[in-house]
Amino acid sequence: MTIKVGDRVPDGTLTEFIETETEACALGPNNFQVADLVKGKKIVVFAVPGAFTPTCSNKHLPGFIQNADAFKGKGVDEIWCVSVNDAFVMGAWGRDQKTDGKVRMLADGSATWTKALGLELDLDARGMGMRSKRYAMVLDDGVVKALNVEAPGKFEVSDAATMLAQC
């Protein structure tokens, strides 16, 4: 079953590579519970089939980085980029794309949360294994307020400009 507008996102564990150690977070991969992260916040989540892939690196992620202030102006507390990659890859991609302070790079390494959302994409035939469909959604206190899932191979409805208009 695929998540839809009005549903609460399932809890799950996402992993983020932390660049600077703090009292709350150790350097390196840290696990976070989705239920804790979404509580009382407005969050824009977008997911990509893979870090460092052409559309994801050249169009999808850059649009959210460039519009981070505009999202904040619309009351968005956080922007998340989720991919079925490990935290080390997501951390490296975030450094490469200069996401620090603008977009949280969250790994769903085994696609557990992605499968719970019903948004997995089987790319075995292309040698990429289980991945995520390209999508974006607006969450308010964990409830889906907007959800745009791309057709295979498309990038038309999950971009930053479309999501900004739906916030």
Q: Which residues contact 64 (CB under 8 A, 6 or more apart)?
A: 44, 46, 71, 79, 81, 102, 103, 160, 163
For tokens 């620090």, the residue is 100
| Strand-pair partners of 132 | 120
For tokens 């390494």, the residue is 109
d(Cα 40, Cα 78) in Å, to the nearest integer?
11
Tokens read off for 162: 């479309």
d(Cα 150, Cα 163) in Å, to the nearest integer?
13
d(Cα 161, Cα 64) in Å, to the nearest integer?
8
- Cβ atoms of 82 and 132 within 8 Å: the answer is yes
From the candidates 25, 56, 81, 167, give the one annotated as an active-site residue. 56
Catalytic annotation present for 81 = no
- Catalytic residue list: 56
